[in-house]
Amino acid sequence: MNLANLNKIARAMVAPGKGLLAADESSGTIKKRFDAIGVASTEESRRDYREMLFRAREAMSSAISGVILYDETIWQDAKDGTPLVKLIQDAGAIPGIKVDEGTQPLPNCPGELITTGLDKLAERLPKYYERGARFAKWRAVIDIGKSSSNSPIPSMTAISVNAHALARYAALCQAAQIVPIVEPEVLMDGDHDIDRCVEVTTRVLNKTFQELRVQRVALEGMILKPNMAIAGKKSNKQAGVSEVAEKTVRMLKNCVPASVPGIAFLSGGQSDEDATAHLDAMNKIGGLPWPLTFSYGRALQAAPQKAWAGKAENIQAGQNAFTHRARMNSLAASGTWTAEHEKAV
């Protein structure tokens, strides 16, 4: 393992004013997104859509440090035969790859999930590296609520096994000279308030870093992709922007070692503008040991998907919408965004 090189890549992923585009939706997820805009999800339409994003040169070169790809996408070529990974590289961004294989029910833990994909991961990683991937992503899913037996979740079992899998994945990535994005996502789907989110996320982060140390993962060669401290969507007690920012920053300071090169938040179902406003408010607090930036999927893509709508004549409109959202989040990553910027489309 060349830790100096891993650290260099990790720092480039959280470069000032830049963040990650999560374009790693599974075939099932992107079908739902395409269904919403009336577009058939085919290998060609998925390729065309992602090519549109990667050719948005202004957004890619000024605001996007890297792109997380799905397995199908990393092997695809653009219409003119150019590998999609080369489009990303030519824009000055770093290609990355989602390597987990989704979730399945966790035995003896009703309502809880375990992420799969460790089998043969060591064999897959060198192939991704050869194709151009320099970082990877693995997502663990932690829910808050009650199981079918009415016991509270998450259980310690779910937290432990998912943290262990994240650490195993991270160790394998570093051995293959690939920077791991460690993503323990506490979902915001329930009716819990922000303090319950902080409580659970703190447990998850502490266990994750404990497992990372056990697996001898070099913290200087990874990126953390956590959820923010946010109330569940069904909660009747929603927190304001400043409360989300303050409690998220406090939580991270309590859990995340300063040696981690950076933190790139997931949007987790927030609206476009909420995801931007929360990130900006955190960066306005300042005095943090690591850069805070974005690793957004839907919060960067909902607007361009709607503008594009699967029509070749709408490619420019889709790229303009993507460029705007990328610019907004670039400003937020620098702590210089205001609501007024949203009007300058």
Render each residue's pLDDT in the chain as its tens digit; 345 residues. 899 999 999 999 999 999 999 999 999 999 999 999 999 999 999 999 999 999 999 999 999 999 999 999 999 999 999 999 999 999 999 999 999 999 999 999 999 999 999 999 999 999 999 999 999 999 999 999 987 778 899 999 999 999 999 999 999 999 999 999 999 999 999 899 999 999 999 999 999 999 999 999 999 999 999 999 999 999 999 999 999 999 999 999 999 999 999 999 999 889 999 999 999 999 999 899 999 999 999 999 999 999 999 999 999 999 999 999 999 999 999 999 998 888 765
Residue type, 302: A
Per-residue pLDDT at 344: 67
DSSP code of residue 180:
E
Report residue 276 as tokens: 């931007």
Strand partners, 141: 185
Q: How far apart are alpha carbons 91 and 119 in whole angstroms?
A: 33
DSSP code of residue 114:
E
Q: How far apart are alpha carbons 15 and 262 in whole angstroms?
A: 9
User: Pick the catalytic residue: 18, 137, 207, 225?
Assistant: 225
Strands 152-153 vs 145-146: parallel, antiparallel or unpaired: antiparallel
CATH of domain 3-343: 3.20.20.70
DSSP code of residue 226:
P
Alpha-carbon distance values, 45 to 41, 49, 300, 303, 331 (Å) = 6, 6, 19, 17, 31
Write b or e for each residue in 113-127: b if 16 or more Cβ atoms lie within 10 A of its Cβ, otherwise e: bbbebbeebeebbee
DSSP code of residue 320:
H
225 catalytically annotated: yes
Torsion region of 313: left, alpha or beta (phi above 0 gives left; psi -120 to 50 gives alpha): alpha
Report residue 284 as tokens: 């306005």
**Domain residue spans in the chain?**
3-343
3-class SS at 40? coil
Torsion region of 25: left, alpha or beta (phi above 0 gives left; psi -120 to 50 gives alpha): beta
Helix (H) or strand (E) holding 295: strand 292-296
Please check whether residue 63 is in contact with residue 327, taking contact to mean a CB–CB distance below 8 angstroms. Answer: yes
Q: How far apart are alpha carbons 210 and 167 in whole angstroms?
A: 9
Residue type, 270: Q
Cα dihedral sign, 74-121-217-200 = positive
